[in-house]
């Protein structure tokens, strides 16, 4: 079995200071195996490390990070096949999340599950998104 770990460059303009989180917490941003790219939970943190208060901006940043990981692998958001998002106060934040998602995710849509949670790893985070993408030659 061939496994390839996606490394985010230290000078990434999208991830900024948070690139160190992968090593600090002992996980990879994404792993390629059997024609699929498995993307770890991605949050809406700005490159300078700050967390916006607004769910729309957090969603845009999280999806932007996923798009950057896909770009590093020669893919784009249309390669997504399965997505799960975790939401703090899901009923309050779902409208803003949905607006941002509608701007960024186009048909054909991936399978997507939304799960309400009591909290995420850092106070202030409102959404975390994990995803799986398929490479074009995968069947």
Per-residue pLDDT of 103-133, as tens digits, reads: 999 999 999 999 999 999 999 999 999 999 9
CA-nearest of 40, 53, 42, 33 to 124 is 53
Grade residue 138 by pLDDT with cuts at 50, 70 and 90.
Answer: low
28-52 pLDDT tens trace:
899 999 999 999 999 999 999 999 9
Residue 62 scores a pLDDT above 60? yes
Average pLDDT, the chain: 93
Looking at 26-89, list the stretches that DSSP marks H as alpha helix, in order from N- to C-terminal side: 55-72
pLDDT beyond 70 at 96: yes
Task: Give the separation between CA 13 and CA 72, rounded to whole angstroms.
Answer: 13
Q: For the chain, give me the number of helices (H) and strands (E)? A: 3, 6
pLDDT for residue 20: 77
8 Å CB contact between 124 and 49: no
Sign of the Cα torsion 17, 8, 12, 126 reads negative
């Amino acid at each position: 079995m061939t496994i390839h770990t996606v490394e985010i460059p230290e000078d990434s303009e999208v991830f900024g200071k948070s690139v160190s989180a992968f090593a600090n917490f002992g996980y990879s941003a994404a792993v390629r195996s059997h024609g699929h790219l498995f993307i770890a939970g991605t949050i809406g943190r700005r490159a300078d490390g700050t967390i916006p208060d607004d769910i729309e901006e957090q969603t845009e940043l999280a999806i932007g990070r996923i798009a950057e990981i896909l770009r590093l692998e020669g893919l784009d958001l249309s390669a997504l096949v399965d997505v799960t998002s975790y939401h703090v106060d899901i009923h309050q934040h779902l409208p803003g999340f949905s607006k941002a998602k509608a701007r960024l995710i186009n048909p054909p849509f991936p399978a997507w599950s939304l799960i309400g949670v009591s909290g995420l790893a850092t106070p202030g985070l409102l959404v975390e998104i994990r995803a799986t993408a398929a490479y074009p030659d995968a069947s």
